[in-house]
């Protein structure tokens, strides 16, 4: 029994320094700051330059786009999607949102409408997850799907 007690104490002492080494400083963020990240993304759409849109995404991220069945994992795959999406000159507008913020991560989910240069619109559901990389907030996942029910 004494040996078991010693092993438990020894293991606890070995883990404690590792736990301390992994602690991180959390980036303080407000709902307004996280909401502005959509505005940044939307502004990059208006440039018409796919590379500027993709710059909003973390290297390790996924895009599940509104008008494509293919998940986009790499920067090249995301650029390929945005080349075609940007041809229609999309402009997004948030209709409803819910924001949750945690330590160096944030989620912005809700409903948005895209208007296109040909006069068409698409109403969709969205979820953006963001991660603070020490310098800026970047998208780690972006899911968008057209609303299933027509109004």
Q: Rounded to an integer, what distance in angstroms lies between the CA atom of residue 77 and that of residue 87?
A: 16
**Cβ(80)–Cβ(72) under 8 Å?**
yes
* Residue pLDDT tens, the chain, 151 long: 554 444 444 445 444 444 444 567 999 999 999 999 999 999 999 999 999 999 999 999 999 998 889 999 999 999 999 999 999 999 999 999 999 999 999 999 999 999 999 999 999 999 999 999 999 999 999 999 999 887 6
How high is the pLDDT of residue 4? 44
The full set of domains in the chain, from first to last, is: 28-146 (3.10.450.50)
How high is the pLDDT of residue 1? 52
Strands 137-146 and 57-64, by their bridges, are parallel
Helix (H, G, I), strand (E, B) or coil at 121: strand
Q: Rounded to an integer, what distance in angstroms lies between the CA atom of residue 7 and that of residue 26?
A: 34
Q: Which pair of structure tokens corresponds to residue 119?
A: 């006069």
Sheet with 91-102, strands from edge to edge, namely 57-64, 137-146, 121-132, 105-115, 91-102
Nearest to 128 by CA among 83, 97, 103, 91: 97
Q: Rounded to an integer, what distance in angstroms lies between the CA atom of residue 126 and that of residue 147?
A: 10
Q: Which residue has the tokens 């299933």?
A: 148
């Amino acid at each position: 029994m004494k040996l078991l007690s010693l092993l438990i104490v020894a293991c606890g002492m070995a883990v404690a320094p590792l736990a301390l080494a992994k602690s991180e400083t959390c980036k303080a963020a407000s709902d307004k700051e996280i909401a502005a990240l959509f505005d940044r993304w939307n502004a990059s759409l208006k440039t018409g330059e796919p590379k500027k849109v993709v710059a909003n995404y973390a290297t390790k991220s996924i895009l599940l786009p509104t008008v494509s069945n293919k998940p986009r994992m790499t920067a090249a795959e995301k650029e390929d999607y945005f080349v075609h999406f940007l041809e229609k000159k999309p402009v997004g507008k948030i209709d409803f949102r819910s924001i949750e913020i945690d330590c160096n991560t944030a989620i912005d989910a809700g409903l948005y409408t895209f208007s296109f240069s040909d006069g068409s619109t698409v109403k969709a559901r969205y979820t953006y997850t963001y991660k603070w990389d020490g310098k800026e907030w970047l998208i780690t996942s972006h899911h968008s799907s057209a609303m299933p029910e027509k109004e």
